[in-house]
Structure formats: structure tokens, C-alpha cells
Amino acid sequence: MKIFSVIRRILLIALLVAALIGLNMLKANPVTAESWTRSYVRMYGQYAAMISGYVPISLTEILAIVVIIAIIVLVIAFIVDLFKGKPIKAVNRILSGASLVLFIAVLYSFSCELAYNRDEIPLPFYETEVNKSEFVNIYNYYADDLNDCIASLTFDENGEIAGEVDFAALTNEVKQAHAFAYDEYYHPYLGSVKTMYSSIILRELHITGVTFAPFGEANINDLNTKIDLPYTIAHELAHTRGVMREDDANQLAFYVCLNSDSPYLRYSAYCATFYQLEVMVSTTYLTDVEREGLHEVNAAFDLSRNYVNAYWEKYKTLKDIGEYFNNLYIKSSGIEEGIDSYAGGTEIGTDPETNELIPSLYQKLYFEKYFRA
């Protein structure tokens, strides 16, 4: 009888492997990947996010703990069975563990992997050529808004946002901001946002958030800087909307934060990307005379940016490990650039003949809001 249980488990594993292969074949076709993401995946994700929303703690962390414990128990039982001369029972243990891991892999692949080969994200990048005579006005428009954001917020002596952050209220603000980006491309629902008990470990790994699509959860490392927290939440929520590529998720997060009514969200976006405007008005593209018209930015802004960099410099114990596995995961999802893909869209070019700016995607989003205002 035990040999039949081994055969059953082998057949189950074969079916799960076949399912993974089938999903990868669907993913390889962009048309199918887009169609499935908008239909079956979206339908599943909506219910997963709804159910997850009723649980106040991270289901992702619970699953991780359960899987780790189960694997440890199965490995110990496997060794014990071998010592007791029960090889078939021992093999059953290993096959059970493999089945569990493969089932989770299939569910994960179905719920989000197809989205890595979707169509391009439909953000309103400004494609009309912008004359450099507009650069100072564009910069000043955002510098003035940045100063208004600073005036609305309170900072400590290091440049960090002062006081405690109401995480639930902030999450609601970010969700409201996401409503600004409406298109049938995006899932019509937002995942639940939860803090993680493992944040202290994730901080050492330099992981600020983890979205687990099978549960529709955006899990946030709440030991992130308060400056970066809105942008991080917006990024992870982008994943729950079917935007899986990291560059796309960053661009969507920037777009919704930049266009938010909240000074806090806009400030978070500026801290991450304002350098794009600073490069635009640098001496590479403007003369010293043209630059004389630039508005000054409150000194608190540089304090904030320096604080964020210094903060993460303190936590590097497991950074290389975190980057290695994140890079491995992203590449296994079909993104050849790996973790370098986070910077996608930030590339600023210069025409070799005219020495004029070739704007990045982030600059094009800055242009879009400016010319729409």
C-alpha cells in the first residue's frame, strides 16, 4: 500500500510540474499573458484580496512560517524513517514536501507571473518635444510645490518626518491616490496593505516590501524611513493591480504620488525622483545665465535625502543576500536586467549632435503634469 502512496505523490508532482510548464507557455505569448491577466488572474485576485482583507496580520508571513516548519519536520522525519529502515515512508516525506512547495509555486505563477509579460503600462508619458526654454519654468513649478510640501510637514533635526505615522490613514491616502491612474489595464481592486513582524530582518536584507499575489497582499516593512513609506506602499499596491515589472511599478507609484493632494505623498515622490529635474537644469543643458532664474529649494530637502541614504547604510548585514535572491527571482520571471530593472525609466540621454536633453520616462511624467496644470 505504501508504494501506491509514493506513486500517487509522484503523479501529483508530475501534474504540478506540468501546470508550471503550461503556465510558462501561456506567459511566453504576450497576447495570452495579457488576456489571462485581465480575466482569470483578475477574477482570482479579487477574491483573494477580499478574503485577505478580513485578516489583520500578514498571511504571507504565516504561510512562510508554516512552510518552513513543515519542511523542517519532514526532513527530520525523513532522517528518522531512514534510520528505522523505512525507506518508502522516508521517500513519502520528501515527496510530500515537494508537493507542498510545487503547489505554492503553481499558485504563485498563476496569480502574478503572467503579468511579467504583459503589454506596456499605459501611463501618460509626455511625448511632445519640450524646448529647453521651458526647463526653468518646469523646474520652478515643482520646486515651489516641493517647498509648499516642506512647509506643510514637520521634520526632525536629521530631515526625517517627525512624529508617528498613522499607517492605516497613510494607506488610505495612497489607495485614494491610486484612483488617479484609471485604465482597464489595471485590476479594478487594490490589495490589502499590512505591516510585517519580520521587518527587522527585512531591513537588514534591504527589502522594503513584499507583495504576495496568491493572497492579494502588499506587505510593508514598517522599519523603512517615514520619508519613503508612501512611495513604497504605492509601489507594492501597484503590484496588486497587476503591474508586476519593477520599473513599471515604480513609475506608477511615482505618478500617483506626484498627482496626489497629499503633501506627504508628493514629498515622498520628490525625494525619490527630484534629481531628474536637477539634471534637466544642470549646466549640461542650460547656461549659467539661464540657471540664474532657478528657485531655491528649502535646505530641509537635502537633509531628507541624505538621511534616507545614511539610514540604509547602517543596515547592511544581509544586504548582499537580499539582493542576490531578489535578483534571482526577477531574472527567473523573465526580466533579464534583474534588480537593475528597478531603475528602468530613469535613464536621461543627451543628443550627441545637438547636446540637447533626451528625457527619461520620469521626466516625461513630470512634463505631463506641468503641461496639464
The per-residue pLDDT string of the chain (373 residues; one tens digit each, 9 = 90 and over) reads 567 788 899 999 999 999 999 999 999 999 999 999 999 999 999 999 999 999 999 999 999 999 999 999 999 998 998 888 888 888 888 999 999 999 999 999 999 999 999 999 999 999 999 999 999 999 999 999 999 999 999 999 999 999 999 999 999 999 999 999 999 999 999 999 999 999 999 999 999 999 999 999 999 999 999 999 999 999 999 999 999 999 999 999 999 999 999 999 999 999 999 999 999 999 999 999 999 999 999 999 999 999 999 999 999 889 999 999 999 999 999 999 999 999 999 999 999 999 999 999 999 999 999 999 8
User: What pLDDT sits at residue 2?
Assistant: 66
- Measured in degrees and rounded to the nearest 5, phi and psi for residue 195 equal -80, 165
Quote the pLDDT of residue 88.
86
A 10 A CB-CB count for 144 gives 12
Contact indicator for 20, 110 with CB cutoff of 8 Å: no
Q: Which pLDDT does position 91 carry in this prediction?
A: 87
Strands 192-195 vs 217-220: parallel, antiparallel or unpaired: parallel
Position 86 scores a pLDDT of 86
Q: Locate cell 516641493: which residue? A: 146
For the record, the C-alpha cell of 351 comes out as 543628443
Using only C-alpha atoms, the chain has a radius of gyration, in whole angstroms, of 24
Rounded to whole angstroms, the Cα distance separating 76 from 291 reads 69
